[in-house]
Amino acid sequence: MRSPTRSPLGFTLTALLLGAALGAPAFAQVRQPGLPAGLSSELPTEVPSVTLEPVDVPRLLAEDEARGHRPFRYGTLLPVHKEILQYGRIDAAEDGSMVVRMAIRSPGAHSLGLEFTSFHLPEGAQLFLYDDARLEMLGAYTSENHREDGGFVIEPFPGDHVIVEVLVPPQSTGDLRVVVGDVIHDYRDVRMIPVGGDGGEGGCLIDVNCAQGDNWGVQKQATVRTLSGGSLCSGALINNTANDGTRYLLTANHCGQGSNTIFTFNYQRSGCSTGSAPTNQTVSGATLLVTNGTVDSRLMRINSNIPTSYNPAWAGWSRSTSNTNFAFALGHPGGGPKKISVDGNGTSANTNFYVVTWSDGTLEGGSSGGPLFDAQGRIRGPACCVNNFTCNQTANFGRFNRFWTLGNLAQWLDPLGTNATTLDAFAPGGSVEPAPSLASVTPFFVLAVAPDEPYKVALNGSALSSVTKITVDGIQLTPLQYTILSNSQIEISVPRVNKIGSVVVEVTSPGGTAQALLSVFPNPTPVIDLANSEPLFLLSAVGATVTMGGNGGDVMLLFGSLSNVPSSLPGVVEFGIGNNFAALLSLGTHVVNPVQGWTSVTFPLTGVAPGTTIHFQGAKFTGDLPLIMSNVQSGTVLL
């Protein structure tokens, strides 16, 4: 078997092909464009590695059963306590940037969540996560991700190992201090946790976009999933009398969320038992304001700004002591896509809890903290506990009116001192057509130059059927360059962009916009592309434009011929054109632009007879022999 071709990107061509087949990570957390030096530079591949002690999964599963999954746990915290500058390998990239890398391995983990006890990056620095095979990547995280408490948390990264890289450009200013405190070892696979039922209207679990949820758009926008210390719960943004969008969140006391909580917005299927459920709309970090075990309720304030593209809403509330004749609950059973449960007969109550028996739907581990709403769509309290995990379940919700008194909530939720007993929702974006969401791009990369046909990638997300505009790095695609395959997927033809690295793919619909990152790598071997090449035709008035792709600074020798008979000089050069060098014409020396990964040249065709076929081929000159040959491109002159 032939060895895979080694590329200056630091990974093999085989790995590139595997990346295309296996797909891409979701675009999650608030991140910025960027490309790790470990992917784009010829840096040493060996980096210091922290290998954690094996996890006793049977013991953890037994503990989960004994606790009744309160809260629902998918991972366990393992201590690391490593500062990257002290433990990591430090190298210099080609542009003079400092590159600091370390690896973390926790054998058997389905994913790894990183919790940083210290997270401070100089201005201009970037932090990335990726795997050994360079098939998965998260980042760039920057100084914009700094939190007041100095920490940070990153959502689960697929697999049982991860490389942490910090890239500090020469012009960056400020101190670098990044300390990985703990790792969440995922022993259940948080990305594949079964959610039960089919999500349809007849199932035990009912998607929020089934008929039962049709009237509750704002309430759906307010309800979120939480990940904290390896546990999954639910919660809801809750309004205050100033209607100012302060990021208060109501959840359950037993969920135990703290400063390193990740909040996932709009994690729901786009249809009823259909469509994808993107997990990419997240923010992290929170402050605990008050918690109470008597009514199993907790009030927090999210520290990070919530992007307006998430279209967040703040649910209203009621301090009524009366039962409601209709109630419904929203949440994330099993940590999966958002579901709805309905009690058509209304609540009963004891001193501290509202009690409901579902006529539709059910709760599971992960539903804890999810809001119970009355017929007016106002919160009555967070989910506490259930009698079983079957249909026709009885569930208890902490009474909001009791929590108001016990926790002195007025200081946060009634800043105007109105003494209101009810408050309506605050939805600055309104309950409008769902905004599109992009969860991933598959594959997550393309090469700078694609011979013959543009690379095709799939945009995966939700609410995509109404998309009317798509741009790639600011280049607007024509309707012929994309196909809407379903409400959850669009296939696009990627235009040639003008830079290597991460570029932004943006989709726009009447409901809003969404973005994802697509990585553009230089071609690992020399490639040429002839505009309008065979079986299409070259127009005399336009000329023949040849684009040459490779690594930045590559010296490309370009040749043309009217013959596609090979020319061979063993050990020196192997052309696919030129008729044994008898019909080979040199078309100059050209240098690949390091910023964009390609260079182009146009040759006039004046005087060339229609019907003439011209063949082109490039050769990379490295100073050594044989020359590294490109593909052959051919075109026939039409006019």
Q: 68-111, pLDDT tens digit by residue?
A: 888 999 999 999 999 999 999 999 988 899 999 999 999 999 99
Q: Which among 449, 500, 451, 499 is positioned nearest to 9, based on CA atoms?
A: 500
- Report yes or no: 601 and 587 within 8 Å, Cβ to Cβ: yes
> Model confidence at 3, in pLDDT bands (50, 70, 90)?
very low
- Report yes or no: 251 and 233 within 8 Å, Cβ to Cβ: yes
Q: Which two tokens stand for residue 575?
A: 């052309």
> Model confidence at 4, in pLDDT bands (50, 70, 90)?
very low
Secondary structure class of 531 (helix, strand, coil): coil
Q: Which two tokens stand for residue 113?
A: 């969540």
> Model confidence at 229, in pLDDT bands (50, 70, 90)?
very high
Q: Read off the pLDDT of each residue in 173-185 and give the average, rounded to a whole number.
A: 95
Domains of the chain: 1-28+432-523 (2.60.40.10), 31-186 (2.60.120), 206-423 (2.40.10.120), 527-637 (2.60.40.380)
Summarize pLDDT for 343-361 with one digit per residue, the tens: 999 899 999 999 999 999 9
As a whole number of angstroms, the distance between CA 409 and CA 389 comes to 32
Give the model's pLDDT for residue 247. 98
- Strands across the sheet containing 537-538: 537-538, 628-637, 613-621, 555-561, 585-591
* Mean pLDDT of all residues belonging to the chain: 88
Q: What are phi and psi of 126, to 5 degrees?
A: -135, 145
- Asked if the model's pLDDT at residue 520 lies above 90, the reply is yes
Residue 468's CB: how many other CB atoms inside 10 A?
Answer: 10
- Asked if the model's pLDDT at residue 249 lies above 70, the reply is yes
**The residue to which tokens 């974006």 are assigned:** 429
- Check residue 71 and report its DSSP letter: S
> Model confidence at 41, in pLDDT bands (50, 70, 90)?
low
- Report yes or no: 81 and 179 within 8 Å, Cβ to Cβ: yes
- Asked if the model's pLDDT at residue 196 lies above 80, the reply is no
CA 147 vs CA 153, 411, 535: distances in Å: 10, 24, 56
Summarize pLDDT for 453-506 with one digit per residue, the tens: 899 999 988 888 889 999 999 999 999 999 999 888 999 999 999 999 889 999
Give the model's pLDDT for residue 40. 64
CA 608 vs CA 216, 544, 578: distances in Å: 68, 11, 18
- Asked if the model's pLDDT at residue 195 lies above 90, the reply is no
- Exposure on the CB side of residue 457, measured as CA atoms within 13 A: 28
- Asked if the model's pLDDT at residue 404 lies above 90, the reply is yes
Q: Which among 588, 590, 580 is positioned nearest to 548, based on CA atoms?
A: 590
- Asked if the model's pLDDT at residue 431 lies above 70, the reply is no
Cβ neighbours for 193, distance < 8 A, ≥ 6 positions apart = 74, 232, 334, 335, 336, 366
- Report yes or no: 410 and 404 within 8 Å, Cβ to Cβ: yes
As a whole number of angstroms, the distance between CA 32 and CA 335 comes to 27
Give the model's pLDDT for residue 622. 86
Is 0.75 surpassed by the pTM of this model? no
Q: Which among 159, 165, 162 is positioned nearest to 35, based on CA atoms?
A: 165
- Asked if the model's pLDDT at residue 592 lies above 50, the reply is yes
Give the model's pLDDT for residue 17. 23
Give the model's pLDDT for residue 436. 84
As a whole number of angstroms, the distance between CA 167 and CA 98 comes to 6
- Asked if the model's pLDDT at residue 23 lies above 50, the reply is no
Give the model's pLDDT for residue 32. 67
CA 273 vs CA 212, 270, 343: distances in Å: 13, 8, 21
Secondary structure class of 64 (helix, strand, coil): helix
Q: What are the strands, taking DSSP E only, across 276-369? A: 282-284, 286-292, 297-302, 316-318, 327-331, 339-343, 348-349, 353-357
- Report yes or no: 507 and 436 within 8 Å, Cβ to Cβ: yes
Residue 170's CB: how many other CB atoms inside 10 A?
Answer: 11
- Exposure on the CB side of residue 162, measured as CA atoms within 13 A: 29
Give the model's pLDDT for residue 18. 25
Calculate what percentage of the chain has a pLDDT beyond 70: 91
